[in-house]
Amino acid sequence: MNYALNGRLGTGRLAKRTTRAGLQALSLATFALGWELLARRLDSLLLPGFVETIAALVRLLTTSLLWEAVWLSNQAMVLGFSLAAVFGILLGLLMGRWRPAARYLDPYLNILLATPKAALIPIVIMATGLGLLSRVLITFSYALVVITINVRAGLSLIDPGWIEMSRSFGATESQLWRKVFIRGAFPAILTGLRLGLARAVSGMITVELLLVALGLGRLILDFQGRFDSGRLYATVLVVVAEAVALLQLFRWLERRVAPWAGNGVDR
């Protein structure tokens, strides 16, 4: 009369912390091993083994070549991101609190959202040349929109009851901004900045790979052109590691200062 019992009675989903770390180590080891075996099997100039890549990475990390490239690339990224942070937060606050601004800017924001930003690169370069400014502008355009929409979404989550409550206690306009709006939208601002940072890194590497061969992008292109696969993969790993590290850092920061924050709007 009974159906076969299929293993997961009750709360089988509880994985312990140690098993979790063990599983992830296992998974990474499997990946590395699979990569190595595949590379040996194919024995191709184009696919370096895991060991070869790591060796190339270690050698690369001790050269000034890599660190100069990291420095050069990140200058533009940091400047563009900072600009996007300032403008994005201001724009988000404006659109979140002042309806006409939202109505007027919404269509542009949506078009900008749907536009492949890479397509803007030739135009920006036509306008500003191949210097630092063009790269800053491009990282700026990559990061701006996602910051704006998150700040705005954060404001829209503020309970009108809080505003009434604060007014009833005699809050002034500036108090209202500091203690209710900024405070309430704070987690969303942080989330927007984190997502914006990911976009900025993306913008940085995209412009370098596509039109202004400099920094990390140039390294990648050089290694690819010379069929130096070990160093090509190693440099790609560096870029991925930078992105992951920056995001983890930001996530950690977010959890520290706003543990109640959600995941935000990523489009």
- Residues of this chain that interact with another protein (CB under 8 A) are 1-6, 9-10, 13-15, 19-20, 23-24, 26-28, 31, 46-47, 111, 113-123, 125-129, 133, 198, 201-202, 204-206, 209-211, 220-221, 224, 227, 229, 232-233, 236, 239-240, 243-244, 247, 266-267
For 115-156, where are the alpha helices, taking DSSP H only? 121-128, 132-156
Q: Which C-beta is closer to another protein: that of 190 or that of 239?
A: 239
Q: Which C-beta is closer to another protein: that of 1 or that of 170?
A: 1
Question: What is the nearest approach in angstroms of another protein to the Cβ of residue 100?
Answer: 25
Q: Which C-beta is closer to another protein: that of 83 or that of 171?
A: 83
Q: Which C-beta is closer to another protein: that of 152 or that of 199?
A: 199
With contact defined as beta carbons under 8 Å apart, do 34 and 177 qualify? Answer: no
Q: Which C-beta is closer to another protein: that of 65 or that of 129?
A: 129
Question: What is the nearest approach in angstroms of another protein to the Cβ of residue 125?
Answer: 7
Question: What is the nearest approach in angstroms of another protein to the Cβ of residue 110?
Answer: 9
Q: Which C-beta is closer to another protein: that of 181 or that of 202?
A: 202
Question: What is the nearest approach in angstroms of another protein to the Cβ of residue 89?
Answer: 22
Question: What is the nearest approach in angstroms of another protein to the Cβ of residue 186?
Answer: 23
Q: What share of the chain is helix, strand, coil (3-state, %, to 5)?
A: 80, 0, 20
Picking from 142, 139, 181, the residue whose alpha carbon sits closest to that of residue 159 is 181
Burial call 157-174: b when 16+ CB within 10 Å, e when fewer: ebeeebeeeeeeeebeee
The burial class, CB within 10 Å (0-12 / 13-18 / 19+), for 112 is middle
Question: What is the nearest approach in angstroms of another protein to the Cβ of residue 40?
Answer: 16
Q: Which C-beta is closer to another protein: that of 10 or that of 160?
A: 10
How far apart are the C-alpha atoms of 95 and 97, rounded to whole Å?
6
Per the rule left: phi > 0, alpha: psi between -120 and 50, beta: everything else, 172 is: beta
**Which amino acid would we find at residue 18?**
T
Question: What is the nearest approach in angstroms of another protein to the Cβ of residue 139?
Answer: 11
Picking from 198, 190, 192, 195, the residue whose alpha carbon sits closest to that of residue 257 is 190
Residues in the chain: 267
Cα–chain center distance at 149: 15
